[in-house]
Each structure stands twice: as structure tokens, then as C-alpha cells.
Amino acid sequence: MSGQRIVVLGGGPAGLNAALGVADLGQQVLLVEPREFLGGTPVAERYASITGSFEDAETAMARLAGRLTESALAEVRLGTRAISLEGSPGDMRIGLEGPGGSEVVTCGSVIVATGFQHFDPGRETQLYGYYEYPDVLALQDLESMLKDRAVVRPSNGQPPERLCFVQCVGSRDRNIGNEYCSKVCCGVASKEAIEVREQLPNCEVFIFYIDMRMYGYWESQIYWPAQERHHVQYVKGIITEVLERNGRLLVRGEDTTMGRPMEVLMDMVVLSVGMEPSAGTREMARILGLAQNKYGFIDAPGSPLDTVTTSRPGVFAAGAALGPSDLEDCASSAGLAALRAVSVLRQSEMIGT
């Protein structure tokens, strides 16, 4: 028996939870993260708060990371990435490249938690002007402003009087090949809408949606409070174009409830961009030889009953590397991936004895 430890690729919410799960099961774990910090996209993109609790995102991720770094069974390598994988379950050798050069580490199994990236609104076929007009933002841009408590129009530094969200940008769109729903953006837009209303009580906030997809407790935690307590205005409509008009933004589309064209002036437009596999997820799928689905996320052939076992024996996946996921999905898939990865090791130990 050579591989006593499990290697986790990715230090975001899923990777941290997976590594913690492995350590909680009494097994050594090595977490590998190419960035110089832990916490994943919520920290890298400076998210303000997380759904449900509205806790500061950085604080929540630091708590998770702190639990891992305190564990005697866990080792973390920052600025490091995987470059190769050989061997079979229970006896694998993973090549790593980090600040000290390259090395080969033995391990029993691997968990891939390399996450997602935001859809690039420049690829959208609708004319939303993300790269044209400074006051057109994406969800993550507004998260960062909310974190700094500085929600202002980038064009003039003034707080907006009217702000709207445009849902389903880069998701549910056959023209660009992303037919899937990104799952989190209805909840995230509604959460951000509440925070804008709290920080700027005089700013009117609108959400233009095809249909709102709040699942689980987000309905009562975010959606109804957004309307009833914070007076966020939800408008069922399809936005087709954003134009500049006298220093403001003219938002054009169709009010699908009334069945008529719609034109409204806004100071800021926030595009609710969807989730796509990160460059790291695509790269790891290639290097580790993992099947991907047609969108580039890592395929779990046994899904929906086994959501974490990949096409390569001994390699498991967790979190948004598998598809659009919220933090609860990440915690769930990470826990299952930890269990599966440890059981591979235990089974190979039993065979070896």
C-alpha cells in the first residue's frame, strides 16, 4: 500500500469541505490550490455576503479555511497545480508544480474541486453593452461594490437612483450553447437587490426575469423579503437591448405579462451572468483524463444517484466543477466525494492486508 493520503485539487468552498471531510474521517489530505489564497471564487471575486445567513463571504470562507489549516491531518500547497496523474485507485502518483519546482506525490485517490467561472457577457448575443457602457455591470462587479459599501455609477461616481438586474445572461440560451439554468443567479440577484435597498434606500430596484427560479429555502429567505420588506420590483420580461440615452441607460425589451414592448431608463444595469466551468476545471479534465459533459463540466456517469464519481477510477469531483452549484450543493457533493475517496483507500488497504 503506497498512497496514504488523498489529494484535493481546489481551495474553494467545495475543495475546503472535501478536504475537511477527509481529515474528519481520519485520513491525511493534501489540498492543492494555484492561487495564493484559499476561499475560491467568493474570495477571489470579493463577494459581499452569502445567501441565507447574509454573513460576510470572506469571513465565512476564512472560517472554513481556518478549520482545515488547524487540522493535523491536512497540508495545503498554495501557488501549486497538478500536471500529471498515473496509477490506479489506492496507488496513484500525481505530478505537482509549485513555487519549489515539480515533484511527484503518492496518493490513494484524488478529488477535483476546481470550480467555475462567470459567463463572459461579451459573448452574449443580446446587445447589453457590458464592455461599452461603464454603468453596465455583472453580478460579481456589484458584489464587490456592496462589499466596499460603495454602490456608485462607475461613469460619474454618483449613487444610482434606478438600478435593474437582467436575469439569465449566458444561461438558458440555445444561441450560445448554454441551455442549462445556472441555478444561483435568481437568488444571488435578489440577495444583491436587498443589499442595494439597504445601502441606498432611495434607489429603486427592478429585476427583469423570464421566470424566477428560487429553490429550497431561498423562496422565504430572499424572494419574499425582497418584495415585501425591501420593495424590490420584479418585472416579467425579456430584455433585448441596452443603449446610452442622455447619460443614462435605456433598457429595451418586452413586458411579457402585458405582452407589449417596454423601454425604461436606468442608472445602472446588472447582468445576472451564469456559471461556466473554470479554465482550471477544463484543464484538469484534460490532464487527468476525465470525461466532460457537453458544457465542459466534469461528467459523473452515475448521476443522479452518485454525483461525484468521475469516469476515471479513483478520481472524484465536487462542487461547481460538476455543474452549476450553490454553497449547499458544494458542501453536499464535497462530503460525498470525501467519503468515496476515503473508501477507495480503505478498500485497497483491506486488499493489501
Ligand X SMILES: Cc1cc2nc3c(=O)[nH]c(=O)nc-3n(C[C@H](O)[C@H](O)[C@H](O)COP(=O)(O)OP(=O)(O)OC[C@H]3O[C@@H](n4cnc5c(N)ncnc54)[C@H](O)[C@@H]3O)c2cc1C
| 283 Cβ neighbours under 8 A, 6+ residues apart | 114
Query: Which residues is 206 bridged to in the sheet?
Result: 164, 233
Minimum separation from the CB atom of position 15 to ligand X (A): 5
Three-state DSSP at 269 gives strand
Q: Is 90 in the site for ligand X (CB under 6 A)?
A: no
Q: Which is nearer to ligand X, 33 or 135 (CB)?
A: 33
Minimum separation from the CB atom of position 239 to ligand SF4 (A): 12
**Segment contacting ligand X by CB under 6 A, of 9-17, 165-173, 202-210, 239-247:** 9-17
Q: Which is nearer to ligand X, 15 or 90 (CB)?
A: 15
Minimum separation from the CB atom of position 130 to ligand X (A): 14
What region does 177 belong to: left with phi over 0, alpha with psi -120 to 50, or beta? left
Q: Is 320 in the site for ligand SF4 (CB under 6 A)?
A: no
Minimum separation from the CB atom of position 303 to ligand SF4 (A): 19
Between the two ends of the chain, the Cα-to-Cα distance in Å is 9
| Rounded-to-integer distance, Cα 282 and Cα 299, Å | 11
Helices (H), 200-272: 218, 224-228
Residue for cell digits 449547499?
A: 328
DSSP 178: B
User: Which residue number is nearest to ligand X in terms of Cβ?
Assistant: 280
Interface positions, 20-79, toward ligand X (CB under 6 A): 32-35, 40-42, 47, 50-51
DSSP 294: T
Q: Of residues 27, 51, 140, 182, which one binds ligand SF4 by CB under 6 A?
A: 182
| Rounded-to-integer distance, Cα 10 and Cα 32, Å | 6
Minimum separation from the CB atom of position 274 to ligand X (A): 8
Q: Which is nearer to ligand SF4, 110 or 239 (CB)?
A: 239
Q: Is 168 in the site for ligand SF4 (CB under 6 A)?
A: yes
Q: Is 172 in the site for ligand SF4 (CB under 6 A)?
A: yes
Query: Element (H or E) spanning 248, and its range?
Result: strand 248-255
Question: Binding pattern to ligand SF4, positions 201-220, x when CB under 6 A?
Answer: ------------x-------
Size of the site for ligand SF4 (CB under 6 A): 12
Interface positions, 291-320, toward ligand X (CB under 6 A): 319-320
Write the DSSP string, 54-95: --BHHHHHHHHHHHHHT-TTEEEEES-EEEEEEEETTEEEEE
Question: Binding pattern to ligand SF4, positions 242-281, x when CB under 6 A?
Answer: ------------------------------x-x-------
Three-state DSSP at 128 gives coil
User: What residues line the site for ligand SF4 (CB under 6 A)?
Assistant: 167-168, 171-172, 181-183, 185-186, 213, 272, 274
